Structure 1
Amino acid sequence: MNLGADPEQICIEIEKRASYRILWLAGIRQLDLTQHCLKTFADCDKPRLDIRRRHQRLHLPAGAQPVAWYLCALPIPWDWPRNAHLAFEWAPGETWEGDALVPGLGVKLANARPILGWGEHSVPREEPLRRSRLHRTCRNWQFAWWLRANRQIPDAVPISLSRTNEAEQLTFE
């Protein structure tokens, strides 16, 4: 697969085959496990994605790579099982092509590989926030716990739990 990627960059090509309300990509540098959704990735690079475009390609610089990248898309109408998620990391010379957890969002990666094997089981059983449905079912939060256990990633200074009504902290009932 040649996505036109410079060997010093990650190239990600995204194809939307469904309608999405939210689409973002985060280069994760720090965690805040008191939060869920995007705020779990406290300090992150956020390249601009255009929710209106069916196809888009981004070149992510290899210098000062984040610990991992995370792609998230929430469908219209919202339906938790159809949420698209893909965690991946810098891997020079590797390529990958597949769906971001669900068939509605196709992804091609150059100089990167997906990170697999994380999920609700990644969260320690004794973690008090695991009892919160918003945290326990949040795949971003699940992946953050996997990062905590498997990568050297620093914690950010926690944001007050009272600040959970911002746009990136969405709750769908």
Structure 2
Amino acid sequence: MTRIVAGSAGGRTLQVPPKGTRPTSDRVREALFSRLEHLGAVSRARVLDLYAGSGALGLEAASRGAASVTLVESARLAADVCRRNVATLGFAGTVTVAVERVERFVARPVLAPWDLVLVDPPYDVPDDELAGMLGDVAGALAPDAVLVVERSTRSPEPTWPAGLERFDDRTYGETRVWFAQPERALA
């Protein structure tokens, strides 16, 4: 069972697509968001959740006070689950669902920069495809934004594009999480 860990919807259960997704465990989400809140990266943030699946990461951010959240998911069944979760939790005014390929979504110009980007691609997304997508996202970040990439511990560290620099990584069981920021934020 997947649930929202904390915040206004804490303890509420999420629907999960019957196949094709790998929801981030409650334990990993709790640790991840503890770190993000310590960094001041969630409250009032514009959040982008790429490869959203059930929407658990983005919905956790909304529950913890994000100003707005966009869930991007290309699988129609998973996107429908995201929409139902948004409605059930009462986040219709805060969370939107974009049904399209992540690569296409991030290639478009943005109206305002993202403060927090959560990237949890399927494990079979090739490293070079992930690197290209991160390159597109890098240009759409606020100066003090945080970008998080979640992968298997068997996956190599993402190739960070120019302008992004890793500042931390954590391992939780079989899950590895990397944190990056625009280079200018680290100066």
TM-score bracket for this pair, using the shorter chain length: 0.3 to 0.5
State the TM-score, normalizing by the size of structure 1. 0.34
The structure whose RCO (Cα within 8 Å, separation 6+) is larger is 1
State the TM-score, normalizing by the size of structure 2. 0.32
Higher helix share: 2
Higher CA-based Rg: 1
